[in-house]
Amino acid sequence: MKASKPKAVVVGGSIAGISCAHALQAAGWEAVVLEKSSAPPTGSPTGAGLGLDPMARKFIDSWLHQPHLLHNTTLPLTIDQNQVTDGEKKISWTLARDEDFNFRAAHWAGLHGLLYRALPPHMVLWGHLFLSFCVSDDKASVKVTARVLQTGEIIEIVGDLLIAADGCLSKIRQSFLPDLKLRYSGYAAWRGVLDFSGDENSDIIVGIRKAYPELGKCLYFDLGPGTHCVLYELLNKRINWIWYVNQPEPELKGNSVTMKVSNDMVKKMHTDAEEFWLPELARVMKETKEPFVNVIYDCDPLEHLFWNNVVLVGDAAHPTSPHGLRSTNMSILDAAVLGKCLQKWGSNNLHLALKEFESIRLPVISKQVLHSRRMGRIKQGLALPDRRTFDPKAATMEDCQELQQKMMPFFANAPFELY
């Protein structure tokens, strides 16, 4: 009689959870993904862009089993450029430039769709709200309880492993670390995606391409006094922008780090953009439909990533600020390493598999979270204990080197196996 496959329950159907489903499948495990959203996200312009590093792309390609599919649905980011804009004089100049930057720009919903469509049907249970879990007395299994939102039915799923991919406000992490609090960065981010399909020759697009001539292959970090903005192009005629604004911590409602914005807040953002940035960038921000605000949090590195047969991945394991383009890349690598460890040790040695996963990933993510925090504080002109406040107009060449993405620990060589 053929032995049944070991089974994992994944809570969270974002990119971290979907990546875990792929890695588990490759490792010979059965996976069930619980996601409270009622359906997969659409590819609408509202949402977020992201940058994929070479290692993350390697694993995604292995899961998709279609050469060039990821390549053909992303745009190159071969240049990492940090520059400064003088808001009064409306001029910009380069602070640091890396022309060997081997990332690719993706839209969040587009990447999620690629990964989701490559999974077997019915592996992801949409509209299922995670409620609770309990580990068996002998630590051999875990039972997960969820509510089917459409019917109100309560269901139970038993597996060998519970994977918490439920984001930076993880309920599963909270059950082990009830006193853990996220750390507010000191700033929030206005962000949006301008869809200019059909308007490629408009004054706005001609203007932004003149002001930022390497859009389509460059990741721009544009710095002003006490603020900075990120700008890059996405596939299908879209421009992704993020503007970080220092402010007191706002009061958030519900289980989200996205802040509800009013028309007055949007109008003030448009007015402020005209003061801080080149007029071409301010126009892009003004023409973007439904801009939104993410409040930026991270978390001091955890001491552990697993307890018994429950393991944290993605933002549940390492809430991080976005300046190092790490969040999605770390999530994908978490999933890949976890799959490799489970395949190596087998379900009978689950503790050893999770222990190895933790030993590989914890040193990497701990340094990357802290470095992303540091990069954010430098670019926002916030205080650091070991250096003077960064002033982009008076920065030395040595100061500017710290701005570059390639200074990230494990930038090009994050380990994914120990043998």
pLDDT averaged over 10-residue windows placed end to end, the chain, 419 residues: 81 97 97 94 66 96 92 96 95 96 94 95 95 94 97 97 96 97 95 92 96 97 95 95 94 76 95 96 96 94 97 97 94 98 94 97 97 96 92 90 95 76
Q: Which residue has the tokens 């030993």?
A: 359
Note whether 118 and 32 are same-domain residues.
yes
> Which two three-digit tokens encode residue 367?
């340094």
CATH number of the domain enclosing 203: 3.30.9.60
Are 96 and 116 members of one domain?
no
Q: Are 161 and 136 in contact (CB under 8 A)?
A: no
Q: Are residues 270 and 378 in the same domain?
A: no
Cα gap 175→321, rounded to integer Å:
23
Whether 320 is in a domain gets the answer yes
Tokens of 221: 């970090």
Neighbouring C-beta atoms of residue 28, cutoff 10 Å: 13
CA distance 378 to 31: 41
CB neighbour list of residue 178: distance below 8 Å, 6 or more residues apart: none
**Angstrom distances, CA of residue 37 to CA of 18, 79, 193, 294:** 13, 36, 22, 19
pLDDT of residue 121: 86
219 lies in the same domain as 263: yes
Q: Are residues 14 and 89 in the same domain?
A: no
Q: Is residue 53 in some structural domain? A: yes
Rounded to whole angstroms, the Cα distance separating 152 from 99 reads 54
- If asked whether residues 263 and 287 sit together in one domain, one would say yes
| C-alpha separations of 136 from 47, 159, 264 in Å | 40, 10, 53
311 within a domain of the structure (yes/no): yes
- Tokens 């007055």: give the residue: 264
Of the candidates 298, 326, 353, which is a domain's last residue? Answer: 298
Look at residue 1 and tell me if it is in a domain: no
Residues 193 and 244 in one domain: yes
**Dist. CA 335–CA 166, nearest whole Å:** 13
Confirm if 86 and 104 have CB atoms less than 8 A apart. no
Are both 39 and 152 inside the same structural domain?
yes
Helix (H) or strand (E) holding 81: strand 79-86
Q: Are residues 191 and 80 in the same domain?
A: yes
Residue 139 · residue 309 · CB < 8 Å: yes
Q: Does 250 lie in the same domain as 201?
A: yes
The answer to whether residue 282 is domain-embedded is yes
Instruction: Please name the helix (run of DSSP H) or strand (run of DSSP E) that holds residue 247, with its range, or none.
Output: none
On whether both 265 and 395 belong to a single domain, the answer is no
Q: Are residues 357 and 385 in the same domain?
A: yes
* 309 part of a folded domain: yes
Domain residue limits at 54:
7-67+110-181+300-401
Single pTM value for the model = 0.95
CATH at 21: 3.50.50.60
Within-domain flag for 410: no
Give the chain's domain count: 2
Name the phi and psi angles at 248, rounded to 5.
Answer: -65, 155
Residue corresponding to tokens 């430039």:
97
11 falls within a domain: yes
AA identity, residue 36: K
- Cα–Cα distance measured from residue 68 to residue 297, given in angstroms and rounded to the nearest whole number: 35
What is the DSSP track for 116-167? HHTSPTTSEEETEEEEEEEE-TTSS-EEEEEEETTT--EEEEEESEEEE---
Helix axes 15-26, 54-64, angle to 10 degrees: 60
